[in-house]
Each structure stands twice: as structure tokens, then as C-alpha cells.
Amino acid sequence: MGLLTALEGGYGDAADALRIDGYAMSRERLLTAATAVADRIAGAPALAVLARPTAETVTAVVGGLLAGVPVVPLPPDSGPTEREHILRDSGAALLAVRPGDELPAGGVGAGIEVLPVELTARAERSQGSGGAGGAYPEPAPERTAFVLYTSGTTGAPKGALIPRSAVAADLDALAEAWQWTAEDTLVHGLPLFHVHGLVLGVLGALRTGSKLVHTGRPTPGAYAAARGSLYFGVPTVWGRVAADESAARALGGARLLVSGSAPLPVPVFERLAALTGQAPIERYGMTETLITVSTRADGERRPGSVGLPLEGVRTRLVGEDGSPVPHDGETVGELQLAGPTLFAGYLNRPDASAEAWTEDGWFRTGDVAVIDPDGFHRIVGRASVDLIKSGGYRIGAGEVEAALRDHPAVADAAVVGAPDEDLGQAVVAFVIADGAVTGDRLISFVAERLSVHKRPRRVVLVEELPRNAMGKVLKKQLLERL
């Protein structure tokens, strides 16, 4: 069985099996167009995809997977510095785009061939028997499916190498936990350059055989109109749905509402449950691990909890001294993971890869959690204050600080995540700068260089930053000021 099981037949194939921002296509049509992409990229070191929420993005990603070429999703709002780093670091020779789309400001750099994706293209090779793609044998499970770039607490984004076997194991475990089948219609409007929107939200449908409706933008009205059975969203999306009573009530016919990427506020959980007639499910994961812990479709849905480890996943809590932490629902420890869904390491970063695992082979998540006596997990924060979760995105404070310091008027900067009812956390920058520059100008400056969602929502101009004896900025004091 291949990775994209639903493309191998046996699930039926409606003309609207996939609907991406209003564009409908059958799985057969997707397979034909994706095989044409595979014909053009076979043997390439990597395929970057300008990951806008379009059918062309889905086609390009599937084409890369058919050909066994690692896929590198490129955020469409990435600034030139971030984009250049991802393309150079990944080794991508091609950038797949929708024909007629404007390329990102600043271009894509030398040595990158732009590949327009035609939805009506025909494959050059035969699509005879042999699985999805026909002409292409299923790549080995250990082959890299994706290089997903994730922001750390310092420096440029790192490319996490995601094996095909990890994707398959994760989707199968989620299908079991959520009772996800070909009878479902999955609805979401999440970005297609993250695990949540792309791996779960596209490949999940192409493995389980469910229909897919991507709404383009995750608005309450679009979610309500889709009439799905299974919905994905981040807390920001669910907060907006809960605030729109008519949209929320329209989701009453759904089988499952899934929230992830950040903790779902309890008031949003309770309002969704009241308006839709069912409590949402929460799950936990990272780029490096995919989804590892989740509430079950047929289990208890406990506010503030992400539930139990998925099949094959093991978890443990350790204290700062490395000793085991009891599962008493109160004692906090660093969450560490082991299992088949984990990444294979960071591209070109053996130092970071080595630091990511303990000596006995457990992945260090950097998140702190508590585990109840019955095994339910609650994520309570970061071991560091430097990884910000805003609107479902994970944002490295160090990357934003570095962009601010590039401004000629800025002497220094410190970035924190301030509590925000809508976003979960809002990016706030404390900046020492020449009085001639304004906060709004600095926000625009960052947005021009990094992904727009990484820009500060607020800039506080200060004369100095609080530091300890070693010169480290005391970010907890900055948060207290807010």
C-alpha cells in the first residue's frame, strides 16, 4: 500500500472529491495532473512549492510525493531573507507556482527554475497498474517526504526532514483515534505550508479516502457553508467561529471538531460545545513529531487537555535534573517523545539534530506538561519563553529580533509572546531605537523581511532592556510590564 492510498482506487471518485478554494477536481484528475508534475521533476534534489491555498499547490505536492522528490513548502508571505534561506538551505532546484501568479517580491533567486503547474496537463508516462502514479514505484518508506522549516528560538529556520513512513504512521494513528473514514468530508481553511493544513488536512484525505473542502480562508461563514463532518481549526479560528452564533450552530451536524497548534481557551471550548452540541477535540504535535497526542472521538473531551498518546507513541516527563516526573496531574516536567511519527533530523544541522534527542533516544519537545493519573496530557507552556504560538503559528523570537536589529535606527530588541484572546499569543517587541523611528514603521520593516504573521503586533520603544548579570534579557520582566 502506498502513501496516498485513495489515489490507488477503491474509494469512489466524485467530480468534487477535492474542492480547494472553490475549485473542484476528482482524484483521477488530480493524479493525472500530479503525474505530469512528477514527469517534469523526477530526479530533482528537492521541489519547493509556493504553498498558496490552491489546487495547483496540492497538485505540485502530490507530484513530488509520486516522484519521490522531497517537497519544500514555501510560505507565500515569506520575506526575501527567509525565502532565500529556505531555497538555498533545502537545495531546491525548482519552485512550483500557479500559472499567472505573481512571484514573491524580490524574486526567487538565481539557480531556481520556476515550474508552472497546469491542472489540465497530461502525463507523459503511462498510468498503468502499479499504484498511485502508475509509472512511479512507491518510494522507500525511509525516503524524505517533506522538508518543513520550523522556527527555533534563535537563528534562521531549520529544515525538519519528515520521512514518508512518519507521515503514513501518523495519518493511520489519527484515522484510528478520530474514526476518520472515507465517509467523512473534511473541511478546513488552514495554511498549506504547515503540518496541520498540509499533512493532516490534505494528505489525510488522500490516505483515508474522505472528501476534502479547503475553504481558502478559515472564516466562520465558509466553515458553516461547507457542511462537513470533520473540521480542523486552530484556536484563533475556533474563537471566531464561537463568536458567530449562526455559523457555530451550522456546525451542529458535524461529527468532529478538531483544534490544535496551540491551547484552546476553555471559554471557547465551552461556547463551541454549547452552540454545536459537541465538545471539540484537542490534539498536540510539532513539526518535528507530527501529531503525537490526541483526544479520541469516542473518549472523554476534557477542557485544557490534549488527551492520550496515539498508537505507537510513547511519552514521558522529566525534571530539570533528568529524573522522572510523576503522573499526578500537578507536577510539571519536560515532555519527551518516542515513536514512528518523529522526523529524521534537521537538514544540514547535525549539531541541532544531536541536541534534539536524549542519550537514550527520546525527542526533547521543549514543551512542559503535566500528565493526569489516567494518562491525559495537558501542555502548560514552553521550557523557554522564546517560542511564540500566535494564531496557530510557531514563531521564533530570535528570528524577529534579528530582523528588527537589521533596521539602522535599532540598537537592540527583545521579542515576547503576550497573552491574546484571539491569537493565543501576540508578538510584542521591546525596542531600543533612535527616536525618529516609529513602532508602525518597525512593524512594516519586519513584515517586509519575514512572513507577515511573524511581524510584531505591537512595538514598545524603551530606553533599556532588563538584564541579568550575564547580560541576558529578562523577558519575564518584560511580560510583567504588559
Q: State pLDDT tens for residues 153-165.
A: 557 889 999 999 9
Do residues 272 and 392 share a domain? no
Cβ distance 12 to 212 under 8 Å? no
Residue 288 belongs to a domain: no
Cβ distance 429 to 458 under 8 Å? yes
Question: Alpha helices of 158-260 — where are they, by DSSP H?
Answer: 164-178, 204-208, 220-226, 235-243, 245-250
Provide the pLDDT for residue 368. Answer: 81
Residue 179 belongs to a domain: yes
Task: Name the band, by pLDDT with cuts 50, 70 and 90, for residue 152.
Answer: low
Backbone angles phi, psi at 268, to 5 degrees: -70, -45
Do residues 270 and 391 share a domain? no
Residue 225 belongs to a domain: yes
**Nearest Cα residue to 58 out of 43, 37, 78, 44:** 37
Q: HSE on the CB side for 267, CA within 13 Å? A: 7
pTM: 0.83
Task: Name the band, by pLDDT with cuts 50, 70 and 90, for residue 469.
Answer: very low
Structural domain boundaries, residue 144: 5-276
Residue 303 belongs to a domain: no
- Over pLDDT 70: what percentage of the chain? 92
Provide the pLDDT for residue 105. Answer: 58
Cβ distance 163 to 142 under 8 Å? yes
Give the residue, 469 or 291, on which the prediction is more confident.
291
Cβ distance 218 to 197 under 8 Å? no
Give the residue, 245 or 122, on which the prediction is more confident.
245
Domain end residue (candidates: 261, 276, 291):
276
pLDDT tens-digit readout, 261-281: 877 888 889 999 999 999 999
User: Does pLDDT of 470 surpass 60?
Assistant: no
Give mean pLDDT, residues 92-111: 79
> Percent helix, strand and coil across the chain, each rounded to 5?
30, 25, 45
Give mean pLDDT, residues 60-80: 94
Q: Is 465 helix (H, G, I), strand (E, B) or coil?
A: coil
User: Does pLDDT of 128 surpass 50?
Assistant: no
* Mean pLDDT across the chain: 90
Least confident range of 11-15, 295-299, 394-398, 418-422: 394-398
Question: Alpha helices of 158-234 — where are they, by DSSP H?
Answer: 164-178, 204-208, 220-226
User: Does pLDDT of 121 surpass 80?
Assistant: no
Do residues 272 and 391 share a domain? no
User: Does pLDDT of 79 surpass 80?
Assistant: yes
Provide the pLDDT for residue 381. Answer: 64
Burial class of residue 351, CB neighbours in 10 A (0-12, 13-18, 19+) = exposed
d(CA 449, CA 401): 12
Do residues 264 and 407 share a domain? no
Question: Alpha helices of 91-203 — where are they, by DSSP H?
Answer: 164-178
pLDDT tens-digit readout, 414-437: 999 999 989 999 999 999 998 889
Least confident range of 180-184, 369-373, 385-389: 385-389
Task: Name the band, by pLDDT with cuts 50, 70 and 90, for residue 26.
Answer: very high
Q: Residue 217 is part of a domain; what is its CATH number? A: 3.40.50.12780
**Nearest Cα residue to 146 out of 344, 296, 333:** 344
pLDDT tens-digit readout, 201-235: 999 999 999 999 999 999 999 999 999 999 999 98
The one-letter amino acid code at 261 reads S
Residue 294 belongs to a domain: no
- State how many domains the chain has: 2
